[in-house]
Chains A and B, each alone.
Chain A
Amino acid sequence: MADKTLPPVDAVVVGAGWAGSIMAKELCEAGLHVVMLERGGPRSTAVDGAYPNSIDELEGAVRYKLFQNLATSTVTVRNRIDEQALPYRRLAAFLPGEGVGGAGLHWTGVHFRAMPQDLRLRSHVIERYGRTFIPEGMNLQDYGVTYAELEPFFDRAEKVFGTSGQAYTVGGKIVGNGNPFAPDRSDDFPLPPLRDVYTAHLFRNAATQAGYHPYAMPAANASQPYTNPYGAQMGPCNFCGYCSDYACYMSAKASPNVNILPALRRHENFSLRTHAHVLKVLLDSTGKKATGVVYQDAQGNHITQPAGLVILAAFQFHNVHLMLLSGIGTPYDPQSNTGTVGRNFTYQNITNSTVLMPPTRSTDQFIGSAGGVAIDDFNCDNFDHGPHGFIGGSPLWVNQAGVKPIAGAKGAITTGQRWGSAWKKQAIDSYRHSFTINAQGSNMAYRDVYLDLDPTWKDAYGQPLLRMTFDWKDNDIRMNRYVIGQLQNVVKALDARDVHYGMREAGKPFDVRDYQTTHLCGGAVMGDNPKTSALNRYLQSWDVPNVFVIGANAFPQGMGYNPTGLVAALAYWSAHHIRTQWLKGNGGPLVTP
């Protein structure tokens, strides 16, 4: 092993997923010499997504070919502060990515904006319901940026991603039967919506009969061939049903690999290094300025890469981990509710309900895309929370991204023994005739839910693992149960044989053994107050102003929508302000605390 220091560059970007690729592209366009460091290996859709070997359910969704290898690094998890946290040894509840493209290679492609109220939820709740509506122990916060400010960047991200969808209003005028709760848009989606698969069609009709407002889910799956502003080409989605967990062999699903990297690689001032695991951000003697990063390469060498600007764009909790390991900002202390790094760690509150249709109706669950049909009637603050006394909400949808038979068998609706002939018969029936409706809800931030460094376990590099302290809280449990109650109005309008409602139960703790979602949020949040946020409204560290931290770590609390659309918009927003303000200034804070 030989440790060495490389010549300095203008900017180093940690992580080659969506956030890192967007930031690297923007900084290269600004003329900076950019090095992007990815701890995993090189990946491309042409190789990793090649038909037919890529569509192997065992390799993709069961053995997790494209995901983080926990043997190298993981987290520890506990439900309560007074509990012993234990390592997350086997992937299950959440599935972070690894390798070029990150989780952006294996995501499904559901591509939402954010609701205006979600971005200023604390202010909104106080305005509508009063300060006393916020439960004790809930760290409800604003993002410090508004929908109007982010709108051009949402629009930019949709055009880069080749997003298919149906708008409701553009420039204040109704243009189609999109989501009537959605905020106004400066432009339509770049592509028309994907067609409804059969089960989404059933949900659309039933939701209409129930008096709700179904709409086509926005999806970064191209409904037609598309060329994005970078000249990257996408094929049309053929509903193959291998979205989540796979690279898309049609190049129809947006990924950093398809939509950004081909253009990024053409910049002479760009370089990408794989198998480069960043160990820490290096700070100068004042602790207020980053001088670069140190990483371990594939041979085990420790390489110092000096840089004038450091962008942390790894997965949500890896960003927080790196800040804690590097001493950027003050670690959060749940006892005093002070400090910011690790604060406001949240998840997404998702439960799945399964509907069994009559034997005469084949649900063809193998047909799928990131599209589908949703209702927003119970999302965000689209309904009066006053009588219910909880904060948050949940869209309901059929988002059939292709159910393959291993998952179909393991998740079958059955009664009695979980194996043997009677089970087998029911499992086959379930696969052929059922479908799933998801309630994907918000998750509020709480004083005793946070991230810090684990005192016991270490990763393969000898550094302490990140520790998650997380559990479901009364507010969020009641929100989920209320929304599932409303779902019953939709199901009534279906000709269903049987229904199994998935619902949170009080006293049932967060369980790492079952897949829920990879939508982990917070831990290094943005905001307008350095006492309650690690980052300012431009995602710049309040403490080390030449470090920007991009990702869902910046969300002050979890929303009902999928996070990637907001992550991408925040990346473009941050990059815009780095280009137009930070690079032209003295490298200091863009916001005076």
Chain B
Amino acid sequence: MGTGAAALAFGTRPALATPPQTSAPTPTNTAQPPASTAPFFTPAEHAFLQAACERIFPQDESGPGAIALGVPQFIEQQMATPWAQGQTWYMQGPHISGPANLGYQLPYTPQQIYRLGIAGTQHWVQTQHNAAFEALPPAVQDAVLSALEQNATTFENLPSAMFFEQLRSDTLEGAFADPLHGGNRHLAGWKMMNFPGARADYMEWVDRYATPYPYGPVSITGQTG
């Protein structure tokens, strides 16, 4: 991947947040409300996200998939948090690569991982298939995702596997986090898992070993499935 992805990643819009202020201590890491209502993802990026998340967590006989669960909206909402701007990670240089077991060493925030990863994947797919990812048949989309997962390419210094893991991890979080974060719509993720959500009181059920837990889920805001 050449400089094209970087230009696409960082040059098309100024949406990247201020780099993390590592010179001044951050007293707490509690989540804050989104600072801006402007979406992070462009419509084109959003189209990729929809298609990719749905292949990772598809609609099938087990239940709804990522799109029906609102996973792309969840990821959009997460992009406005301090986490997405790297404010809960140690981001100071030098950034030196090392063995994988010593963990993440890149200078990229989650926002930057998405920006680089989506642009890089689209560029890669375009050269190979002459189409955008979201326009490919599902089987080809799966093959592309598998290649990313197996680290077939890099986007600038971002290994494609790292982008894939971010996407997979956030997709699962969007499917199963409380709906107040934008995903898990209608508590459908929790219903698939038989998870009662914010009921969180099993005093009467601890030792009724033969009795299935009878109640459906409830969310933090009191929504029921």
Contact = CB atoms under 8 A, between A and B. Distances in A.
Contacts of A275: 27
A2 to B, nearest CB: 16
A444 B148 CA distance: 40
Contacts of A92: 103
Nearest to A48: B30
Interface in B164-186: 168-169, 171-173, 175-178, 180-181
A298 interface: yes
B193 A432 contact: yes
Nearest to B74: A58
Interface string A354-388: 00000000101011000000000000000000000
Contact of B172 (A201, A406, A425): A406
A419 B56 contact: yes
Contacts of B195: 366, 404-405, 408, 431
B94 A58 contact: no
A211 interface: no
Given A64-B29, A432-B193, A512-B101, A409 B202 contact: no
A87 to B, nearest CB: 5
Contact of B202 (A201, A239, A461): A239
B18 interface: no
Contacts of B87: 69, 71
Contacts, number: 215
B58 A71 contact: no
B177 A417 contact: no
B223 to A, nearest CB: 11
Given A63-B88, A366-B195, A89 B105 contact: yes
Interface stretch (B7-15, B123-131, B151-159, B205-213): B205-213
Contacts of B105: 86-87, 89
Contacts of B196: 366
A338 B25 CA distance: 35
Contacts of A98: 28-29
B103 A239 contact: no
Contacts of B80: none
A296 interface: yes
A414 to B, nearest CB: 12
Given A70-B88, A70-B89, A512 B178 contact: no
A56 B178 contact: yes
A201 to B, nearest CB: 6
B224 interface: no
Contact of B101 (A79, A362, A418): A79
A236 B204 CA distance: 13
B4 to A, nearest CB: 28
Given A420-B55, A424-B58, A71 B90 contact: yes
A365 to B, nearest CB: 9
A186 interface: no
Contact of A71 (B61, B91, B146): B91
B146 to A, nearest CB: 7
Interface residues of A, number: 83
Interface stretch (A4-12, A132-140, A192-200, A326-334): A192-200
Interface string B82-108: 010011111110101011111111000
Contacts of A367: 202, 205-206, 213
A252 to B, nearest CB: 11
B103 A41 contact: no
Interface in A291-307: 296, 298, 300
A499 to B, nearest CB: 21
B56 A58 contact: no
A362 B29 CA distance: 36
A458 B92 contact: yes
A77 B102 contact: yes
A238 B201 contact: yes
B38 interface: no
Contacts of A59: 31
Contacts of A511: 101
Contact of B177 (A69, A196, A406, A510): A406
A88 interface: yes
Contact of B200 (A55, A69, A406): A55
Contact of B181 (A58, A296, A425): A58
A52 B198 contact: yes
Given A52-B200, A55-B200, A84-B98, A65 B193 contact: no
A424 B91 contact: no
Interface string A417-433: 11111001100100110
A362 B213 contact: yes
B103 A53 contact: no
A181 to B, nearest CB: 26
A25 interface: no
A209 interface: no
B73 to A, nearest CB: 14
Contacts of B142: 420
Contacts of B146: 417
A456 B103 contact: no
B105 to A, nearest CB: 6
Contact of A421 (B24, B62, B104): B62
Interface in A187-226: 195-198, 201
A67 interface: yes
A344 B167 CA distance: 40
Given A405-B195, A509-B101, A513-B101, A57 B92 contact: no
Interface of A: 40-41, 51-53, 55-59, 62-65, 67, 69-74, 77-79, 83-92, 98-99, 195-198, 201, 236, 238-242, 249, 275, 277, 296, 298, 300, 362, 364, 366-367, 404-406, 408-410, 417-421, 424-425, 428, 431-432, 456-458, 460-461, 509-513
Nearest 5 interchain pairs by C-beta: A240-B200, A405-B176, A58-B177, A69-B29, A511-B101
Given A277-B25, A428-B62, A512-B102, 4 more contacts: A40-B27, A238-B201, A238-B203, A241-B200
Interface of B: 20, 22-31, 55-58, 60-63, 81, 83, 86-92, 94, 96, 98-105, 142, 145-146, 149, 168-169, 171-173, 175-178, 180-181, 189-190, 192-196, 198, 200-203, 205-207, 209, 212-213, 220
8 contacts: A56-B178, A57-B176, A86-B103, A198-B207, A409-B172, A419-B56, A420-B56, A513-B103
